[in-house]
Structure 1
Amino acid sequence: MALSFVLVLALAIFAEESLASGGTQWGYTGEHGTAHWGSIFRSCSGQRQSPINIETSNVKTEYWRPFTLKNYDQPPTRMRIKNNGHSAQVEMDAQAAPRVRDGGLKGEYIFAQFHFHWGHDSSLGSEHTIDGVRYPMELHLVHYKGAYGSLAEAVKKSDGLAVLGVMLEVSNSDNPALTPLVTALRNITDSGMFAEVDARHPLRAFLPRNLDTFYRYSGSLTTPTCNEVVTWTVFADAITISEKQLNAFRALMNDRNQPIVNNFRPPQPLNNRKVMVSAKSDADSAAMKKVGLTLYFMTSMAVLMMNM
């Protein structure tokens, strides 16, 4: 039996219908824009808000086991995409729920949904910035901690959610994994519309090839009500998207019949938080050190014998 993620998505944490916001209006510009979120929603003025600017010269190296992705290579049995008035959000059904653990995460997290943030042109769009550099798009894969049993319970915990952030950079060619989504976007130009997606690609297709290098910090949802419950992973490597594909996202309309563009929150103060970057595990480092010492010993012996 296929496992449906529709029920866990009913809270629509990343959508404007968020139950936590009580239906309060918000947007990215004007009187309900990002500059006013803190006064509209008290939690949006917290001390551990997201996104942030990641300063690579000011990160702490950590040694974690590589991510373990379970069911990430299995194509979904069904996929849907929705224009929620703020973003394009993708939901899916699968025979077995995709899960992620390790990579410094404390527990196993179950996939819920993914969505995008983009700009009006390719000079901006991502929520996180790296050394001040903003990418044209950022993809967020949202997971909730399995130990808490449900998304509803997980959002009450400080470590309830784990979000994988993936940057997208412009390529001259289309990204095949995004093509079915882009095709479906034509059917959801108006806010509140949804469409079926040709579910050919597994979740792994939306991640960069290299998962070993990433940044980690504790933060919040990047939309109201900005709950500070997210363990953030931002991968150092990007995936690609073409300008043609980006323009399909920019053609979506919000509740006011205006194009959905620049749907990103500006970087928030880091305050006293630490940002970490992954590195090779202690075991790998120890093994390399052992190999290095062995080579050094053998080289020294060879030189000694030559001089005898």
Structure 2
Amino acid sequence: MALAPLVVCLLALLTQDVLAAGGAHWSYTGQHGPSHWGSTFRTCAGRRQSPINIETGNVKTEYWRPLSFKNYDEAPTSMRIKNNGHSAQVEMDARAAPRVKDGGLKGEYIFEQFHFHWGADSSLGSEHTIDGVRYPMELHLVHYKAQYGSLGEAVKRADGLAVLGVLLQTSDNDNPAFTPLATALRNITQAGRYAEVEANYPLQAFLPDKLDKFYRYEGSLTTPTCNEVVTWTVFADAISISDRQLDAFRALMTEEGDNIINNFRPPQPLNNRKVLVSGESGADSSSMKKVGLTVYFMTTMAIIMMNM
């Protein structure tokens, strides 16, 4: 039996155009831009904010089990894309909700929506940077923790959300998965509009081919109200998008009638948080520690026996 729709408009706490508490206005420029968010939304001035610059020379390796994706390879029954005045947000219905677990995540998380951040040109656009390098676009796949039952309940918990960050780099060729989205965007240039997406690619099509290397840290939503409830997974490998497809996103308009461009928050202070990176082994870190202790014990016993 088909599941209930994965929410056409989503819950207010994650729909970016209504995330702002009390209807307070925010934007990416001027007096309502990111440098002023903390004055209007207290949580945006917290110490566990996102995005961050990931310094690859200053990360700790962890040996987790690989990330496990369920129903990510099944095409949705329907998909729609919305111009919420700040970004392009994709929602879908599915026979079985996509889920992700393992990979160091503490529990199973259910997919809710994905959205994008991009630049005025291909020299910038991503929210996360790696060693200071900014990509032309970043895709965020938002999930809430299954045990909390709903998105609304999950955003109240420190481990309530798991967001997968996928970096995009430009290619001379169109990415087939983005072609239906780019086509639908032509019908929603004005803020508040949404359109059905004709060809429904599975979520797997929006992930890198290699999923074994990713960065992990504890952070926040990157838009007001900046709730510090997100376990971030940022993949090391990027996926492709053409400049022509990117231009379809840049044609979207804000509520004020300006082009939605440079809709990314600058990197935030790390504030002594640790950034982890997945190791190449499929074993989790606790198993590795147990193996290490076992080897140490056996070696010690062998030395003792030899000296008896």
TM-score of the aligned structures, taking structure 2 as reference length: 0.90
**Counterpart for residue 6 of structure 1:** 7
Indicate whether 1:269 and 2:278 are aligned.
Answer: no
Contact 1:114 1:142 (C-alpha < 8 Å) held by counterparts: yes
What letter matches 1:220 in structure 2?
S
- How much has 1:281 moved relative to structure 2? 3.1
CA distance in 2, matches of 1:282, 1:10: 36
CA distance in 2, matches of 1:120, 1:192: 21
1:1-308 aligned at under 5 Å gives the runs 1-3=1-3, 4-6=5-7, 9-18=10-19, 21-281=21-281, 283=283
Gaps spanning 5+ residues in structure 1: where?
290-308
What letter matches 2:67 in structure 1?
F
- How much has 1:12 moved relative to structure 2? 4.7
CA distance in 1, matches of 2:146, 2:9: 12
CA distance in 2, matches of 1:7, 1:156: 22
Contact 2:78 2:200 (C-alpha < 8 Å) held by counterparts: no
> Which is further off, 182-191 or 9-18?
9-18
* Aligned partner of residue 177 in structure 2, secondary structure: coil
CA distance in 2, matches of 1:200, 1:7: 16
Contact 1:14 1:223 (C-alpha < 8 Å) held by counterparts: no
The number of equivalent residue pairs is: 286
- How much has 1:198 moved relative to structure 2? 1.5
Contact 1:76 1:199 (C-alpha < 8 Å) held by counterparts: no
* Aligned partner of residue 232 in structure 1, secondary structure: strand
What letter matches 2:18 in structure 1?
E
CA distance in 2, matches of 1:108, 1:154: 12
* Aligned partner of residue 22 in structure 1, secondary structure: helix
- How much has 1:22 moved relative to structure 2? 1.8
* Aligned partner of residue 123 in structure 1, secondary structure: coil
CA distance in 2, matches of 1:58, 1:238: 21
Q: Per-residue displacement from partner, 1:238-292 (whole Å, max 9, x unpaired)?
A: 0000000000000000011000000000000000100000012364998xx9xxx
CA distance in 2, matches of 1:188, 1:212: 36
* Aligned partner of residue 81 in structure 2, secondary structure: strand
CA distance in 2, matches of 1:31, 1:267: 19
Contact 1:8 1:150 (C-alpha < 8 Å) held by counterparts: no
What letter matches 1:5 in structure 2?
L
What letter matches 1:175 in structure 2?
N
CA pair 111-282 structure 1, distance change in 2 beyond 3 A: closer
What letter matches 1:115 in structure 2?
H
* Aligned partner of residue 143 in structure 1, secondary structure: strand
Q: Per-residue displacement from partner, 1:222-243 (whole Å, max 9, x unpaired)?
A: 0000000000000000000000
CA distance in 2, matches of 1:12, 1:54: 27
Contact 1:2 1:77 (C-alpha < 8 Å) held by counterparts: no
CA distance in 2, matches of 1:100, 1:282: 16
Q: Per-residue displacement from partner, 1:181-204 (whole Å, max 9, x unpaired)?
A: 000000000000000001431000
CA distance in 2, matches of 1:121, 1:97: 35
CA RMSD, Structure 1 to Structure 2 (Å) = 1.6
Gaps spanning 5+ residues in structure 2: where?
292-308
Contact 2:9 2:15 (C-alpha < 8 Å) held by counterparts: no
